[in-house]
């Protein structure tokens, strides 16, 4: 099971994630997020990272042209769309797309079929924020045929990662607030414990 650590805002946190084996890092280019980072600053961080770690930019209802521009400026590996972007929109993106859906009771998973050439991330629905809430949703809602294909986000933590690995079995997990001292500042000890435990269960 692969792991993406999201909300990276500084080089020190990025290097710790890389050191302990994170597969991907998430950089949020949504200005209203407390974990926002500028494309220019993220590009400087990328220069110090291994080319083998994925750099994923997170966008919320941004214009497709701007997403493509930032992706090129920063040197992204993939674009994560965390807003209400429709299937026509995703076709305009020139980079691999990870499309996020915020799940609540009654969510119609059939809408994922409308998106082609996308990977999918499932997060918790919140009226207050587009992500990074630390709240989980009922993972039993995920159809069995999707579970090993999606990235699971929302409330993923050291306490439940073994349960996720054993029962939900997603392709990857996305972690942010559970590994922080404060929004945008990671806890290096929590990162080490989480990634060490994850490696132990994989």
- Judge contact between 25 and 195, C-beta under 8 A: no
Map residue 59 onto helix, strand or coil: strand
Range of the domain at 193: 2-201
- Decide if 138 is catalytic: no
- Decide if 118 is catalytic: no
Q: pTM, whole model, 2 decimals?
A: 0.92
Looking at the structure of the chain, the number of domains it has is 1
pLDDT tens readout for residues 130-177: 545 567 889 999 999 999 999 999 999 999 999 999 999 999 999 999
Give the active site residue among 108, 123, 138, 174.
123
Residues 184 and 13: their CA atoms lie apart, in Å, by 9
Q: Is 59 left (phi over 0), alpha (psi -120 to 50) or beta?
A: beta
pLDDT tens readout for residues 94-106: 999 999 999 988 9
Give the active site residue among 6, 13, 118, 174.
6
């Amino acid at each position: 099971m692969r792991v993406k650590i999201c909300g990276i805002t500084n080089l020190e946190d990025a290097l710790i994630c890389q050191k302990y084996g994170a597969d991907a890092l998430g950089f949020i280019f949504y200005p209203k997020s407390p974990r926002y980072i500028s494309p220019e600053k993220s590009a400087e961080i990328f220069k110090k990272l291994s080319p083998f770690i994925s750099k994923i930019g997170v966008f919320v209802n941004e214009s497709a042209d701007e997403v493509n521009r930032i992706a090129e400026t920063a040197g992204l590996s993939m674009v994560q769309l965390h807003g209400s972007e429709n299937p026509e929109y995703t076709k305009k993106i020139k980079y691999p797309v990870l499309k996020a859906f915020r799940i609540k009771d009654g969510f119609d998973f059939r809408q994922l079929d409308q998106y082609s050439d996308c990977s999918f991330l499932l997060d918790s629905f919140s009226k207050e924020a587009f992500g990074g809430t630390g709240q989980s949703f009922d993972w039993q809602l995920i159809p069995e045929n999707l579970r090993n294909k999606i990235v699971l986000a929302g409330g993923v933590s050291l306490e439940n990662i073994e349960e996720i690995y054993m029962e939900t079995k997603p392709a990857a997990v996305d972690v942010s607030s559970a590994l922080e001292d404060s929004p945008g500042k990671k806890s290096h000890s929590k990162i080490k414990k989480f990634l060490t435990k994850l490696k132990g269960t994989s």
